[in-house]
Amino acid sequence: MKFSGLQKTSLLDYPDKIASILFTPGCNLRCPFCQNHKIAFDPQPPFLQENTALSILAERKKYVDAVVITGGEPCMHRELPKFLSKLGDQGFSVKLDTNGFFPDVLEQCLEYVDYVAMDVKTSCEKYPLLGALDTETLLHSIDILKKDTVPYEFRTTAVPDFLTSQDAQAIGKLIEGTKTYAIQQFTPQNAFDKHYQTQKPYPPEKINELCEIIAPYTEKLIQRN
Ligand code: SF4
C-alpha cells in the first residue's frame, strides 16, 4: 500500500488512545464539503510507501498505542486487510474510518481492526449529490457492522444541506438498533466547494434538536464539536 501522509500524533481520532494517523489516497465519492479533497480527489506524489510507514510507526511505538487509517477512502484499496494485519502484528490497536461503499473489503478488514467509524452522511436520497450512484453497498456495510463483530460507530458531520430534520429521521431509521452514533460539527474553512466554505454551521440548539430525533434509534449518542 501507499499513503498520502502520516500524522504522527493525535489525541482526538481514537477513543481514549494516543494514535498516529495514516491517510490513504483517493476516494470514490465527491462530497462538496470534503476537508481532505487534495488527497481524496487528486492525490499526488510523493507517496509514503508501506514499508516506510511501518518503520516510522515502529519507532513511534513507545509513544503511540494505536493507528487510525483514514482517507480518502481506505477500503477502496484491496490490499488494506493485509496491511492492517501487519499493524496488529506490531502491537497497535487499529481504527478504520470508512464511507461504507466497499462492504467486501470492510468485511475482510474486521478481523484486523479494533474499532470502525463509518459515515452515514445523509439520507439515501441525497447520496447522489455526494457522487454515489446508489446506496446498495452502503446499506450492506451498515448491516455488516450491526452484526457487532467489532466495536463501531456510525457518524454524521452536521452539514446543514445534508442533515435537515428529515435527513436525521431517515438516518435514524438506517442505523436503528446501533450501539453508538456520533454527530460532529461541520467546519467550513477547508471545504472543497466554495459554497460550503461560507455555509454557517448549525447553532447548538439545532444540533440538540437533531440529536433528539436520532436518539431513539441508538443506545448511545455522542456529540462532537
Ligand atoms: S467520503 Fe470523505 S474523503 Fe471521500 S469525498 Fe466524502 S468527505 Fe471526502
In order, the DSSP letters of 183-195 are EEE---TT-SSHH
**Ligand 1 environment, Cβ below 6 A:** 27, 29-31, 34, 36, 40, 71-73, 99
* CB 137 within 8 Å of CB 101: yes
What are the pLDDT digits (tens) for 97-134? 999 999 999 999 999 999 999 999 999 999 999 999 99
Question: How many C-beta atoms surround the C-beta of residue 220 within 10 A?
Answer: 11
For residue 15, the model assigns a pLDDT of 84
Question: Does the pLDDT value for residue 75 go beyond 90?
Answer: yes
Cα gap 111→160, rounded to integer Å = 36
CA of 204 to the centre of ligand 1 (A): 24
Q: What's the CATH number where 149 sits? A: 3.20.20.70
Which mutation among 34, 101, 157 tests ligand 1's pocket best, with the greatest number of atoms within 8 A of CB? 34
Cα gap 52→58, rounded to integer Å = 10
Percent of the chain topping pLDDT 70: 100
Range of the domain at 22: 2-224
For residue 145, the model assigns a pLDDT of 98
CA of 37 to the centre of ligand 1 (A): 7
For residue 68, the model assigns a pLDDT of 97
Question: For the chain, how many residues are written?
Answer: 225
Ligand 1 atom having least distance to the Cα of 131: 5
pLDDT confidence tier of residue 155, bands split at 50, 70 and 90: very high
Give the residue-averaged pLDDT of 19-48. Answer: 97
For residue 127, the model assigns a pLDDT of 98
pLDDT confidence tier of residue 194, bands split at 50, 70 and 90: very high
My answer on whether omega of the bond before 43 falls inside 30° of 0, hence cis, is: no
For residue 117, the model assigns a pLDDT of 97
CA of 62 to the centre of ligand 1 (A): 32
pLDDT confidence tier of residue 147, bands split at 50, 70 and 90: very high
pLDDT confidence tier of residue 72, bands split at 50, 70 and 90: very high
Ligand 1 atom having least distance to the Cα of 99: 1
Which mutation among 31, 118, 119, 186 tests ligand 1's pocket best, with the greatest number of atoms within 8 A of CB? 31
Q: How many domains does the chain have?
A: 1
For residue 225, the model assigns a pLDDT of 84
The C-alpha cell that represents 193 in the structure block: 466547494
CB half-sphere exposure, 85, CA atoms < 13 A: 7
Predicted model pTM: 0.97
Give the residue-averaged pLDDT of 139-150. Answer: 97
Cα gap 96→98, rounded to integer Å = 6
Residue located nearest, by CA, to atom 7 of ligand 1: 34
